[in-house]
A and B are shown apart, each in its own frame.
Chain A
C-alpha cells in the first residue's frame, strides 16, 4: 500500500472487481427476490418466470464471486482487516456507536480513523464479518438447496424441508437488504457524501488530517 498526497490505497483491484460484481448482483437479487415473494407489490415490472431466471443467474454469479472474496481474503494481506479480536470488543463497539449517535454531531474526531493498518472501524468490521461469513454463506447454501430441491431433507418433523429452507433464505435475504441499506447510508458519512463511493471505485481513500478537517469548509 502506498500513501501519497493524503491518499492511501485501501482497495486493491481484485477487491474492487469483487465488490462491483457483488453490489450489482445483490441489488438485483434483492429486487427480484421481493418481486418473487411479493408479486402483488409489483416491485419490478418483469415477468415472474424472468424474475426466477434472473434470480437464479445472479444467485450463481454472486456465489462464484463469493469465492473471489473468500480466497482473496485467505491469500492476500487483506485478511488482516477481518481478524477477530475479542478483547475489549464491546468497549470498542460502544465507542463507535457513541460516535455515530452523538460524537459525530458534536464535531468529535472519529475514534477509529481509517489508516493503512485499520481499514474498518470496529462496528463496520464486525458487521462485514457477520454479513460475509454468516449471512451470505447461509443465503448461498439455502439458495443452492432451493435450486436443487431434491437435495433438501423432505421433512423436519412434520415441517417441509423446502418450506424451512425457503423461510431461512428469505429471512437472510431480508437481513442482507437491511445491511445494504445501512451500508449505503453509512458510506455517505464522510467529508463528502460521495467520497467513499469514489474510493471503492478508484481504490484510494482520502486521508483528512484531524486539525485540518475542522478548518476546511
Chain B
C-alpha cells in the first residue's frame, strides 16, 4: 500500500475514532508524520545505504494507540510538544532516547488552569510515598499515568466499576507485570492473589474497590491521595469501609460525578447505588423502619408479659 493511501486511511480511521469517542479534541495534523510509522505494527522507509525500499516490524513498545491517544487528556498535543523535533528525521538519532522528558509538575506546577487538580499538593504527597522513597526521581508520574493515554476517569465517569478498573489497571501495569516491575524493583513481584488471600471475596473487592483505597493515606483536601503506603501499613480493617461512616465515602465516593447520581434525596441513594457495600449502604428509611418495627414488637411483648404477670399474681 502506498504511503499516500495509508495516510488517507489513517486520517479516516482517526476521525472515526474521534467521532465515536465524542471528544472535541482532534489529532493534530502534524502528528500524521510520526503516526505514519508509530501507529502501525510495520513501517517502511528508503534505505539509502542499500538503496532499496525497506519494510520492518515496529518495536511494539513504540506503537501508539492513536484512538486512545486522542481520548486521553493530552490528546490534542503535537508529538513534538513533548518530544524533540529532531525525531522528525529518520533514522532517529540514538542519543534522542536519552532526552529528558517533562514530568507532570514541569508543565502543571503552579498551573492555574488545572488548579482543581492540585498538582503541587500531589507532588508533595507523592514524595512521601513508598514509590518515591524506594526509587526516588526515577519513579516518574508516567510510571502510573501514561502521558499518551491518561484519562481523568475518576472525575469524569459516573460508573464506579469503570473508575475502579481504570485506576487499578494503573497499579497492575507494574504489579501484575513482571517485566515492567523489573524496571523499578530488583525484588520479585509478589503474587497479588496470594498476598491478598486474607481478603474475603477477593475478586469482588478487586472489581469494585480501588487498590489505593487501602494502600494510601486518605487526605481530605485531595481527590486522590498519592501517598502510597508501604505494604505493612496498608489498611486491613474491614470495619473501616464496612460501616455507616465508611472510609469509601471519603475516598472513592467523594467525587461529585458519583455523588450526583445519588443526590436526589435519601431514596435516591437506595435506587441509584451501583455498588453494594455490606454495612455501608445503610438506608436511613429502612433502618428507621426496622428500629420502629423491632421497638413495637418488644413493646407489645413487654405489655403482654406484664399483663400475664399481673393476671398470675391475682
Q: Which residues of A contact B (CB under 8 A)?
A: 36-40, 47-49, 52-53, 100-101, 104-105, 107, 149, 158-160, 162-163, 166-167, 170-171, 174, 177-178, 181-182, 185, 189
Q: B293 to chain A: which residues have CB within 8 Å? A: 174, 178
Q: B298 to chain A: which residues have CB within 8 Å? A: 181
* B281 with A49: CB separation less than 8 A: no
1/0 contact string of B219-249 vs chain A (CB within 8 Å): 0000000000000000001110011110000
Q: How far is the CA of A80 from the CA of B242 in the complex (A)?
A: 45
With contacts A163-B273, A167-B286, A185-B301 known, is A39 near B294, CB below 8 A? no
Among A40, A178, A185, the residue within 8 A (CB) of B245 is: A40
Among B273, B290, B301, the residue within 8 A (CB) of A174 is: B290
Among A100, A166, A171, A181, the residue within 8 A (CB) of B276 is: A166
* B282 with A38: CB separation less than 8 A: yes
* A181 with B301: CB separation less than 8 A: yes
Q: Which residue of A lies closest to B276 (CB)?
A: A163
* A159 with B271: CB separation less than 8 A: yes
Q: Which residues of B contact A (CB under 8 A)?
A: 198-201, 204, 237-239, 242-245, 270-276, 278-279, 281-283, 286, 290, 293-294, 297-298, 301, 304-305, 307-308, 311
Interface SS of chain A: helix
Q: Which residue of B lies closest to A157 (CB)?
A: B271
Q: How far is the CA of A47 from the CA of B308 in the complex (A)?
A: 41
Q: Which residue of B lies closest to A52 (CB)?
A: B200
* B238 with A48: CB separation less than 8 A: yes
Q: How far is the CA of A173 from the CA of B309 in the complex (A)?
A: 31
B233: min CB distance to chain A, Å: 19
Q: How far is the CA of A170 from the CA of B271 in the complex (A)?
A: 16
Q: Which residue of B lies closest to A178 (CB)?
A: B297
Q: How far is the CA of A20 from the CA of B5 in the complex (A)?
A: 80
With contacts A105-B307, A181-B301, A182-B297 known, is A163 near B281, CB below 8 A? yes
